[in-house]
Structure 1
């Protein structure tokens, strides 16, 4: 049988087709996160959701989620995600039935991402908050978080000075990388050992590296 070819999609049709595809995948997987991505495509066409949910971003977040479960367990009262962007990691934790998470607060300094994060996490609106805030200006003692996550430590000029703002004994999950050629990465590290020395946690429950095509991502889980 001869198959007829279809003309390539016009650029103006990209969002419509992406929306239909995301809705189809959401229906098949029954994933609130994928359903949220479909809503973002429809409601926030200027959001960089394809970049936020590309395979490298997803792999790093899956690594964080699965390692957290293995190392520190499944139950959390409140998780604070710093530099939370569109709230994808929060959604990944909230939709994972292996976890018992009461609430996730996603903080980002960019006010434009708050509405997108709320749209993406609409299914979890009673347990998810998106807040516009500078991580250096937060009063961490009043956040009520038993886990603080920061997967963008390469953007922090002085990691230990920021960690000193977090109450002693708080569990943290931190990620950095050795992608030195990226101009916005102002504090990359060459190894997980260097990362561990920089963070100077009182307890390290996990330290490891995830190789990617262009760089290695490093992760620490422990207590301040």
Structure 2
């Protein structure tokens, strides 16, 4: 099985160097997330795109969600297309791999590039997945930077009092921002998706936590 992901920066023609530097940082972080997979490949391609392969089925959907939570540029949202296919890893350079599954992933990405309501795509995505991913898109893209930090730290398992101490805020401030972030709803969406795809995301969540702490310098 191969799980693929293509992430593209929306509106990148107007982005400055900071945006592309952060995409390079994200590439290095995702490399640590998939390092222990049986097969993996992560590459920041020329321009504004990240290409990810993993041998863990459906892994790339959750990589995409966590990547968007780490992404600090809501003015330039990441558009993400993921897919899992029952195929063997490429025997040659993955960058030159032209399997139909990869082409399908890219075609799905092209279909959502101009949409504002959905940042996640997958070939033949069922309605029961498309609708929660629409909500996830709206939640993540609607967060302020502080709300995004609070929601991400809660998702990483940190207690409210510890978040307050880490961000130098009061507990009431953290509570208010978590409520406004709709982070609880996002947690439910992620759990639903993990149950739907029968995917254990505990290890990936741990990697996300480590990356989040590095980004926030905690």
Q: What's the TM-score, normalizing by structure 2?
A: 0.33
Higher helix content, 1 or 2: 2
Looking at both structures, which has the greater relative contact order when contacts are Cα pairs under 8 Å and sequence separation is at least 6? 2
Question: Which protein is richer in strand relative to its size?
Answer: 1
> Computing the radius of gyration over CA atoms, which structure comes out larger, 1 or 2?
1
